[in-house]
């Protein structure tokens, strides 16, 4: 490594980095030791607020390559031709634990990818599960509180979790995934990713399609048993981070096949499942997976804080040809994600190198804390104008979305059994060993929870599938 001279923040060279300036060799330290003051002051400010969710994570740079033509559905230039490559950055994470928590905890895994497209950044901010616990963002802070710590003791609490879930039966499908062995994936390379929400595609004819994204691991799905996950949490809490980093370092680049499910806009009106309910999948028999491309992770971050910690993902980052949907949970995230980044990193977070688009950014946004670029120079910061200022184009035009009804606080329009049937279907996707592990993982989490809560919860499992509920009740010694 080339020898460089140590400097202070103002660039002046440091004459002595081992000894503070003192009044005499045994006397107190002098205020005028600005090197000491600056060094300590900077150190005191090294930490930024950790993410409220997804605090512990690992990430890598990569490439998305188109393998199949989907231009009939979307005009997004990232999909323009087979063979087209786009740079990416992906961050994996657990959800509930703090920044130093164990990678192998039973928890969904975040799977967020930023595509630096030639039309701006597109972020696909999903999980390793195709569905979610709740479907209205109004419940999100309550749900996350149950995943964190009790206000009094600062302890985690299974009672708090099951109390909330028993009162939120729409969570049953996601719970069946979480307590299956897929709730403890063997590192980040051996799990699928899902966009989870329904998004939209708009094609060159200005037609809208509803779309779901699936990223299937090409390393194969591999999971940890509950015992292995617990052992690793103690022996190597950074198990998944290390596995990802070392494999990329050794040139063993992980890949995912990216697929979409496509629903023509009109079919949403009559489809038997509410297609905007994030607690539901679209069964493959109804909407088969269509292959689109391959995501490969092939470069480790050089600096964890600059690249992984400062990476800011948001579903608001979309490009022409990709849009939102009326999914209420997605709508809430459209506010919450950029809002949390403004709080965590500051209002200019999109200018940080890892978040900066590879296209020119021209707008009237000015000033704010930590404005570290040229702040728009001397171009006018308003529009419209008679001078040469950035102006709108119609490229983001979308067809109008038909809406009817009165504004009110509606429940999701699902029939009563629909909260349970897909959880039952998942139970039957599992083989005998996976079912056995599911029951055992659930039981381990439910032991000690008050019977009043368990009885309600077992009622939900029975509705999903009689055998599923009965096995659980038996294992918990609860008579039906």
Catalytic residues, by residue number, are: 54, 127
* Number of CB atoms found within 10 A of residue 413's CB: 9
Name the nearest CA neighbour of 108 among 59, 179, 211, 166.
Answer: 179
Q: Is 340 helix (H, G, I), strand (E, B) or coil?
A: helix
Q: Is 221 in the site for ligand NDP (CB under 6 A)?
A: yes
- Least distance between ligand NDP and beta carbon 92 (Å): 17
Name the nearest CA neighbour of 86 among 348, 359, 361.
Answer: 359
Among 117, 128, 174, 177, binds ligand NDP (CB under 6 A): 177
Contact 282, 263 (CB under 8 A): yes
Q: Is 425 in the site for ligand NDP (CB under 6 A)?
A: yes
Question: Angle at Cα 267 formed by Cα 265 and Cα 273, nearest 5°?
Answer: 115
* Number of CB atoms found within 10 A of residue 381's CB: 14
Q: Is 285 in the site for ligand NDP (CB under 6 A)?
A: yes
User: Could you tell me how many residues of this chain bind ligand NDP (CB under 6 A)?
Assistant: 18
Residues 315-344, interacting with ligand NDP (CB under 6 A): none
Residues 76-115, interacting with ligand NDP (CB under 6 A): none
Q: Is 119 helix (H, G, I), strand (E, B) or coil?
A: coil
- Least distance between ligand NDP and beta carbon 288 (Å): 9
Q: Is 168 in the site for ligand NDP (CB under 6 A)?
A: no
What is the pattern of x (binds ligand NDP, CB under 6 A) and - over residues 431-450?
---x----------------
- Nearer residue to ligand NDP within complex by CB, 345 or 464: 464
- Least distance between ligand NDP and beta carbon 46 (Å): 40
Contact 58, 112 (CB under 8 A): no
Q: Is 281 in the site for ligand NDP (CB under 6 A)?
A: yes
Contact 111, 90 (CB under 8 A): yes
By CB under 6 A, which span of 5-13, 55-63, 337-345, 424-432 interacts with ligand NDP?
424-432
Name the nearest CA neighbour of 133 among 91, 181, 102, 96.
Answer: 96
The string of DSSP codes covering 412-470 is P---TTHHHHHHHHHHHHS-HHHHHHHHHHHHHHHTTS-HHHHHHHHHHHHHH-HHHHH
- Nearer residue to ligand NDP within complex by CB, 271 or 365: 271
By CB under 6 A, which span of 157-165, 250-258, 421-429, 446-454 interacts with ligand NDP?
421-429
Among 93, 196, 418, 422, binds ligand NDP (CB under 6 A): 422
- Nearer residue to ligand NDP within complex by CB, 217 or 355: 217
Please report, for residues 101, 102, 163, 236, 312, the alpha-carbon distance to residue 105 in angstroms, rounded to integers and kept in the order given.
8, 6, 20, 12, 23
How is residue 77 annotated by DSSP? G
What is the pattern of x (binds ligand NDP, CB under 6 A) and - over residues 179-208?
-x-x---------x----------------
By CB under 6 A, which span of 145-153, 277-285, 384-392, 442-450 interacts with ligand NDP?
277-285
By CB under 6 A, which span of 235-243, 262-270, 370-378, 427-435 interacts with ligand NDP?
427-435
Secondary structure tally for the chain: helices H, strands E: 12, 10
- Nearer residue to ligand NDP within complex by CB, 284 or 366: 284
Give me the sign of the Cα torsion angle 71, 75, 77, 78. Answer: negative
Among 426, 449, 454, 464, binds ligand NDP (CB under 6 A): 426
The H or E element spanning position 160 is helix 158-166
Residues 390-409, interacting with ligand NDP (CB under 6 A): none
* Two structure tokens written together for 99: 């920044």
Q: Is 290 in the site for ligand NDP (CB under 6 A)?
A: no
Considering only the C-alpha atoms of the chain, give the largest distance between any 2 of them, rounded to a whole number of Å.
85
Cα(441)–Cα(182) distance, integer angstroms: 11
Would you mind telling me the total number of residues written for the chain in this entry?
480
By CB under 6 A, which span of 73-81, 112-120, 375-383, 419-427 interacts with ligand NDP?
419-427
By CB under 6 A, which span of 70-78, 84-92, 295-303, 418-426 interacts with ligand NDP?
418-426
- Binding interface with ligand NDP (CB under 6 A): 130, 177, 180, 182, 192, 216, 221, 281-285, 422, 425-426, 429-430, 434
């Amino acid at each position: 490594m080339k020898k460089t001279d140590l400097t202070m923040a103002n660039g002046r060279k440091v004459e002595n980095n081992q000894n503070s300036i003192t009044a005499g060799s045994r006397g107190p330290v002098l205020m005028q030791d600005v090197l000491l003051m600056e060094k300590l002051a900077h150190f005191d400010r090294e930490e930024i607020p950790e993410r409220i969710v997804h605090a512990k994570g690992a990430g890598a740079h990569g490439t998305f390559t188109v393998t199949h033509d989907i231009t009939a559905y979307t005009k997004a230039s990232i999909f323009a031709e087979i063979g087209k490559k786009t740079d990416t950055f992906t961050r994996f994470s657990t959800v509930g634990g703090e920044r130093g928590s164990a990678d192998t905890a039973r928890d969904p895994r975040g799977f967020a990818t930023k595509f630096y497209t030639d039309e701006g950044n597109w972020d696909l901010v999903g999980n390793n599960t195709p569905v979610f616990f709740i479907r209205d963002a109004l419940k999100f802070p309550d749900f996350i509180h149950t995943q964190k710590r009790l206000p009094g003791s600062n302890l985690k609490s299974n009672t708090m979790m099951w109390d909330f879930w028993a009162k939120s039966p729409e969570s049953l499908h996601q719970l069946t995934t979480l307590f299956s062995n897929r709730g403890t994936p063997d590192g980040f390379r051996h799990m699928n990713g899902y966009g989870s929400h329904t998004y939209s595609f708009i094609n060159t004819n200005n037609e809208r399609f509803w779309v779901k994204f699936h990223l299937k691991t090409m390393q194969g799905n591999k999971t940890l048993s509950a015992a292995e996950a617990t052992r690793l949490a103690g022996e190597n809490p950074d198990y998944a981070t290390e596995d990802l980093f070392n494999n990329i370092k050794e040139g063993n680049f992980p890949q995912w096949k990216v697929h979409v499910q496509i629903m023509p806009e009109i079919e949403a009106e009559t489809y038997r499942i509410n297609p905007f309910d994030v607690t539901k999948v679209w069964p493959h028999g109804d909407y088969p997976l269509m292959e689109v491309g391959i995501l490969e992770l092939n470069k480790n971050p050089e600096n964890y804080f600059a690249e992984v910690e400062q990476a800011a993902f948001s579903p608001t980052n979309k490009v022409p040809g990709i849009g939102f949907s009326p999914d209420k949970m997605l709508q809430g995230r459209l506010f919450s994600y950029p809002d949390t980044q403004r709080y965590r990193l500051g209002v200019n977070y999109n200018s940080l190198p890892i978040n900066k688009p590879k296209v020119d950014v021209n707008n009237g946004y000015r000033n704010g804390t930590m404005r570290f670029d040229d702040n728009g120079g001397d171009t006018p910061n308003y529009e419209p104008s008679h001078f040469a200022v950035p102006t709108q184009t119609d490229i983001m035009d979308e067809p109008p979305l038909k809406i009817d009804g009165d504004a009110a606080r509606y429940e999701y329009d699902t029939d009563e059994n629909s909260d349970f049937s897909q959880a039952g279907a998942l139970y039957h996707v599992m083989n005998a060993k996976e079912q056995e592990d599911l029951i055992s993982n659930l039981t381990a989490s439910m032991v000690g929870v008050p019977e009043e809560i368990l009885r309600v919860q077992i009622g939900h499992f029975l509705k999903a599938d009689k055998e599923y509920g009965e096995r659980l009740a038996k294992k918990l010694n609860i008579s039906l």
